[in-house]
């Protein structure tokens, strides 16, 4: 049985079901949307960019991004909650880095895509 779409082209019910089986579940799609929302802020992207090069503390990031430490800390908290960055403590200093190589890969792919435009 064929189903007509708005362009008048047909896709069989079997093909439609096959396509549907290969996309993530709605819950996963929602989590992905929330994940990508975090990338929608310039300050967070700057932080991720700096952290892709080197592990840094809040004071260093504050100087690099030219924002108050409290604002940087707030952004780092959001990045941590979304598992984009991790931290380690050394004495009283907390150092931040990208959570894993996947985050760096996502960042690089986005840059490559934009450079193609």
Domains of the chain: 1-40 (no CATH), 41-117 (1.10.10.10)
Q: Is residue 1 pLDDT above 80, yes or no?
A: no
Sign of the CA dihedral running 98, 100, 105, 110: negative
CA gap 41, 74 in Å, rounded: 13
Cα(113)–Cα(38) distance, rounded to whole angstroms?
18
Q: Cβ neighbours of residue 67 under 8 Å, at least 6 residues apart? A: 43
**Of 30, 24, 26, 40, which Cα lies nearest the Cα of 84?**
40
pLDDT tens digit string along 61-84?
999 999 999 999 999 999 999 999
pLDDT tens for residues 2-39? 555 555 668 888 999 999 999 999 999 999 999 999 99
Whether 92 has a pLDDT exceeding 70, the answer reads yes
The three-point CA angle 21-39-96 to 5° equals 115
Mean pLDDT over 70-99 rounds to: 97
Is 90 exceeded by the pLDDT of residue 105? Answer: yes
Residue 2 is predicted with a pLDDT of 52
């Amino acid at each position: 049985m064929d189903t007509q779409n708005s362009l008048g082209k047909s896709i069989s019910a079997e093909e439609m079901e096959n396509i549907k089986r290969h996309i993530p579940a709605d819950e996963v799609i929602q989590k992905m949307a929330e994940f990508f929302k975090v990338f929608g802020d310039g300050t967070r992207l700057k932080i991720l960019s700096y952290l892709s090069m080197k592990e840094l503390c809040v004071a260093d990031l504050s100087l690099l991004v030219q924002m108050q430490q409290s604002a940087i800390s707030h952004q780092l908290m959001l990045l941590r909650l979304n598992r984009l960055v991790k931290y380690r403590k050394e004495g009283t200093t907390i150092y931040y880095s990208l959570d894993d190589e996947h985050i760096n890969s996502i960042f690089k792919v986005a840059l490559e895509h934009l450079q193609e435009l």
